[in-house]
Amino acid sequence: MPTFFSTHYNQIINSIIVFGIFFILQLIARLIIRLIGKSKKIHVGRAKLVGRYITITFLLIAILVEAFILGVSIGDLSLIFSSVFAVIGIALFAIWSILSNVTSGIIMFFSFPYKIGDKIKIHDKDHEIEAIIEDIRSFQIHLRKDNGNLVTYPNNLLLQKAVTLIKKDAFEDY
């Protein structure tokens, strides 16, 4: 009678290899993101946040590969994924603005020309905002107006509006 270890030896070895590759890839991705963040002088917290998003993506891919290693059939996976994506699709449709803001936050990490401390003016036809960027988060950007009021502005709207740089690193004046 074969033992558990001898019958599942290949699955165990392949699983170790998959998660080893996952670990190495996520370390490399986080290093690259950190280097991009340093070269563009982006706040460390934002780089860590994007690194977490990349780690979650790699983990989901590793779990999918692991399912194939353990013998789950494509038919079973397609049934699970279609059910899960149907539920997620309905949920995301209901909260599309949250997903839009998170995606905008990731885009802003790689290509937003303004940094924390810059004074900017957002050109909105109803209400223009002139303030210093205090923090850039996943969902919104925190702006500090000259009168001391804190304004939170959604990331997705910031990418849709014209923005003017008034002063680079305005925190130096304070």
Q: In whole angstroms, what is the distance from residue 155 CA to residue 139 CA?
A: 6
- pTM, two decimal places: 0.54
Q: In whole angstroms, what is the distance from residue 155 CA to residue 136 CA?
A: 8
Q: Which amino acid is at 158?
A: L
Q: In whole angstroms, what is the distance from residue 141 CA to residue 121 CA?
A: 13
What does DSSP assign to residue 174?
-
Q: What is the pLDDT of residues 133-149, one digit of tens each?
A: 998 888 889 999 999 99
Q: What is the pLDDT of residues 98-141, one digit of tens each?
A: 778 888 888 888 887 888 888 999 998 888 899 999 988 888 89
| Residues 74-79, mean pLDDT to the nearest whole number | 84
∠ at Cα 108 (27, 114), nearest 5°?
A: 115
Q: What is the pLDDT of residues 7-38, one digit of tens each?
A: 578 888 888 999 999 999 999 999 998 898 88
The alpha carbon torsion through 9, 11, 17, 19 (nearest 10 deg) reads: -130
Give domain limits for the chain.
Answer: 4-94, 113-173
For domain 113-173, say whether CATH 2.30.30.520 is its number.
Answer: yes
